[in-house]
Amino acid sequence: MARPKFRFILCFDFDGTLVHPEGEFRFHPALGDMLRVLRGQGAAWVINTGRSLGQTLEGLGQNGIFLEPDFIVAQEGELYRPGLFRRWTDYGSWNRQARKAHQHFLRVHKPFLKEIKRHVEEETKGQYMEGDLGQVGIVGDSDEELDRVCAIIDRHRERVPEVGYHRNGVYLRFSHSGFSKGTALGELARLLELTPNECFAAGDNHNDLSMLDTRVARMIACPGNALEPIKLHVRQQGGFIAEGIASNGMMEALHHFFAAK
């Protein structure tokens, strides 16, 4: 069977954008209906999330989403597609490159990470976290506290651009700047032979900013529950800001961009 030829991409953050614990529905079933219609018109449905692949798949059922995505970007940069017998597999060489880059990042920037660890442990109430699989991050005591830590990191990034991080609320995870939600979406578009003109992206938090960029997706949106800096960013790029929360807002966004399709 020939691989389907996708005509455009619909890329969504998961928590806060597709699903939300408050409201009548965690995920509005009418959004599922809209996605089915647009897939029939050539859309590739993509979830782009900070969750792991396993957590994302579990979250689909837990939140009443009974529609398998065409692709998943997990942990803000790992690109997967369904394989035989529904087993999800790496799509292309992107994940291998990302893992290699992360190991390089940890090795080369060890002195900087050590200094950030000292700062967090001695001068904040937050926690510096190190995982068994090479994850390195920070859990701030408050948004304001993590804002101040991010300001320190950002000053360093001006001199060393490959230092990157993904932030969601008071949680931050370090990474190589070349691998993010935005660059993963760009790689997916390249593999599908699509351009930014044919990409829609929606998100609600700091870690979505890299894909809420018209250089990656010309159609960008955020739900009504998005953080104010995210709304400002989307507004400045001419994107769509919905009134509804999460999936309700995403129905507004899809109608805004695709009603004429």
pLDDT tens column, 102-149? 999 999 999 999 999 999 999 999 999 998 778 899 999 999 999 999
**Domain with 138 in it: what CATH number?**
3.30.70
Q: Which of 156, 164, 232, 169 is nearest to 16 (CA)?
A: 169
Say if 134 falls within a structural domain: yes
Say if CB 202 and CB 182 are below 8 A apart. no
101 plus 160 within the same structural domain: yes
Domain that holds residue 201: 8-77+180-258
Alpha helices in the chain (DSSP H): 29-40, 53-62, 94-108, 110-123, 143-159, 181-191, 228-236, 246-258
Looking at residue 39, the DSSP 8-state letter turns out to be H
pTM for the whole structure: 0.92
Say if CB 26 and CB 14 are below 8 A apart. no
Residue 196: partners with Cβ closer than 8 Å, 6 or more residues away: 189, 214, 215, 216, 217, 218
Q: Dig out the tokens for 52 from the structure.
A: 């792991």
Say if CB 111 and CB 159 are below 8 A apart. no
| Model pLDDT for residues 6-39, shown as the tens digit of each residue | 999 999 999 999 999 887 789 999 999 999 999 9
- How sure is the predictor about 2, in pLDDT bands with cuts at 50, 70 and 90? very low
172 plus 194 within the same structural domain: no
- Distance separating alpha carbons of residues 121 and 118, to the nearest angstrom: 5
> Structurally, how many domains does the chain consist of?
2
Say if 82 falls within a structural domain: no
